[in-house]
Homo-oligomer: A and B are copies of this chain.
Amino acid sequence: MSTVYIAGIGITPFGRHAERSLQALAVDAGEQALRDAGLQGSRIGIGFFANALAGRLFGDSTLGQGIFAALGINQIPVLNIENACTSGSSAFYLACQAIRAREVEVALVLGAEKMCVPQMGRLHSGNSDFDALLGMIPPASFAMRAQRHMYEFGTTREQMAAVAVKNRRHAQANPVALYRSPVTAEEVLASPMVADPLTRLQCCPIADGAAAVLLCSESVARRRGARVRVLSSILCSGSYQSPQDLARWETDFRGARAAYEKAGVGPENLDLVECHDAFSIAEILHYEALGLCPLGEGGSLAASGATAWGGKIPVNVSGGLLSKGHPLAATGIAQVVELALQLRGEARERQVGNAQVGLAHCMGGDLAADTKSFTLSVLAV
């Protein structure tokens, strides 16, 4: 089985790009990744374009072919991947598979989203999503989880706010993050209530943006001096919502176990984690699924400072979705970009000392379909 390496990365600033098309953002990130790898586009053997919303917003979801052609990459397989918030990480997962199958030596994965447009409206899961039409949009769903976690484990509003404060502090050192000014716990708790107990500063903002990762086989990596390798990449989908387990996702725990087992590492080996903090409570739930702390102790872990930069296991030193912004299909790839920067020791002011093993974690899916997908990738240098 061929080991997969990361040879190049690229990312655009996340935020409002009124003047740039979805295609232009993706091409920008892709060009950066090619430059970073020092590879010509002609070396790319397969291309993945991840995007979640263009079908709904722009009536077009077959964009990858044109984007790769604009990058000067032609006559290769190009695939469009849509998996809600895990679109980018699902594409990453498939690209790893293509290299491991020895189908290609080099794969380029692009993820891009354009959300800051008038037709964006309220994000739900389509016309068939009656729950969403009745108000069960993502903040409401996560607020119910937060309430349950508070009830079962005594998690506090202050502990949840600590996640938002930490990630905003991290974002100060990340030039691509959307929100980079620090906030206090008081400000987080006093910001407008979206769905009790989640205030606005505990909900990730939408954004336009793109990210790219160039993957390669071991032999290409050796020639190019690429050192960051993929120990495991997991995608796990499944239904999760049942009244009795609102405070945990079975699939999240299962995905984490699989990712650790395939990688041959455990949570104790991780030097940093990028996880899917779409809402403050989500990061706390993921701490528990990822085994960073026992079940029910995620709130205390957040408040302890252990997951802050300089702590025992820094989480979301990029600023996370809460501060960086969440351009859906770019997010999962941006997490890998952050890990690669850290593992290469190139993260400047936000560099985690002696970072050798990192984990990227994403979740996404329909509320309507009552299922979620979790992706987890363990990278090492």
Contact = CB atoms under 8 A, between A and B. Distances in A.
Interface of A: 1, 47, 52, 54-56, 58-66, 68-69, 74-84, 90, 93-94, 97-98, 100-103, 125-129, 234-239, 250-251, 254, 364-366, 368-373
Given A97-B97, A100-B103, A127-B60, A236 B76 contact: yes
A284 B234 CA distance: 43
30 contacts: A1-B101, A1-B102, A56-B60, A58-B127, A60-B126, A61-B61, A62-B364, A65-B369, A66-B370, A68-B237, A69-B239, A69-B371, A74-B371, A75-B236, A75-B237, A75-B238, A75-B250, A76-B238, A77-B234, A77-B235, A78-B237, A78-B371, A79-B235, A80-B83, A81-B82, A82-B82, A94-B94, A97-B101, A100-B103, A101-B101
B100 A82 contact: no
Given A56-B61, A76-B236, 17 more contacts: A60-B366, A62-B125, A64-B237, A65-B237, A65-B238, A65-B369, A69-B369, A75-B250, A76-B237, A77-B234, A77-B237, A77-B373, A78-B371, A81-B82, A94-B97, A100-B101, A100-B103
A59 B237 contact: no
Contacts of A254: 75
A58 B369 CA distance: 14
**Which 10 pairs show the lowest CB-CB distances between chains A and B?**
A55-B55, A60-B126, A66-B369, A77-B235, A101-B101, A65-B371, A78-B237, A59-B126, A100-B101, A75-B238
> Is the contact region of chain A dominated by helix, strand, or loop, or is it mixed?
mixed
Contacts of A368: 60, 66
A236 B77 contact: yes
A251 B75 CA distance: 7
B77 A93 contact: yes
Contacts of A94: 79, 94, 97
Contacts of A78: 235, 237, 371, 373
Nearest to A60: B126
Nearest to A234: B77
Contacts of A59: 56, 126-127
A24 B320 CA distance: 38
A69 B127 contact: no
A371 B129 CA distance: 34
A79 B81 contact: yes
Contacts of A129: 60
A251 B76 CA distance: 9
Contacts of A100: 101-103
Q: Which of A56, A62, A68 has most B Cβ within 10 Å?
A: A62
A93 B98 CA distance: 10
Contact of A69 (B76, B83, B90, B370): B370
A69 B240 CA distance: 10
A134 B235 CA distance: 42
A113 to B, nearest CB: 13
A75 B102 CA distance: 26
A207 B183 CA distance: 54
A80 B82 contact: yes
